[in-house]
Amino acid sequence: MRTGLRAWLEEPRGVTVIMALTVVVFIGDSLAGLALTEVGAKSYRIWAGELHRLLLATFLHGGILHLVANLYALYIFGPVTERILGTNRFVVLYVLSGAVGFLVSLLASPGTFAVGASAAIFGLMGYTLYFRLRRLPRRWLPIDTGFLQIFVINFLLAQTVPNIDHWGHVGGLMGGLLCGGLLGFERPVGGGRRRLRESAVSALLLASVFF
């Protein structure tokens, strides 16, 4: 019984909650005639103060294929990232890197609407890449197979689905890398001063994106 409870506590609960919330939002948006997309998609209205779009856009999707592809990517990378970071910091990473992705998209193409979890998922990839380079050996690992799968999926989507927000992907990846420097790992190992400097620089760069 204790073993079962401990196993449940170690499950990636943040990933489960985010996936469930994303599905609920998609169903609600579909039933409401895309009313949520109208008020939550990334658009130039963010400049006018509608900052909620930076958060809500991550949970909105343009169709069932878009939704399934992103949920699959989250299923692959989410648990790995959450186990590295812990649930609370994982949620911060997901939301913050998604917001950075949409900000970069806004700067690059302010006149277009965009929705989807892709920016946040690329943020998970950016963080995982940070962890990969900082902690893991320089040889092919199962985590690299996950990277390859996601890149192939996004390449295929880019060829078949119109209006893919590539700038959002770039911004999300950048946000994930910066969040790596800011959030660190669940169990930091040594390097107190270096860790502090890295966090300070990452926080400064993230702040410069937002301001």
d(CA 74, CA 150): 10
- The answer to whether residue 208 is catalytic is no
Whether residue 97 lies in the annotated active site: no
Centre a 10 Å sphere on the Cβ of residue 16 and count the other Cβ atoms it contains. 14
Task: Using alpha carbons, select from 58, 79, 49 the residue that is nearest to residue 169.
Answer: 58
Among 61, 105, 169, 202, the one annotated catalytic: 169
Q: Which amino acid is at 134?
A: R
Map tokens 């502090």 to a residue. Answer: 196
Residue that is written with structure tokens 């949409």 in the block: 102
Q: Per the residue annotation, which of 97, 105, 118, 202 is the catalytic one?
A: 118
Rounded distance between C-alpha atoms, residue 94 and residue 191, angstroms: 26
Q: How many CA atoms within 13 Å lie on the side-chain side of 137?
A: 4
Q: Is the dihedral of CA 36, 42, 48, 52 positive or negative?
A: positive
**Distance between CA 58 and CA 100 in Å, rounded?**
11
Catalytically active residues are 118, 169
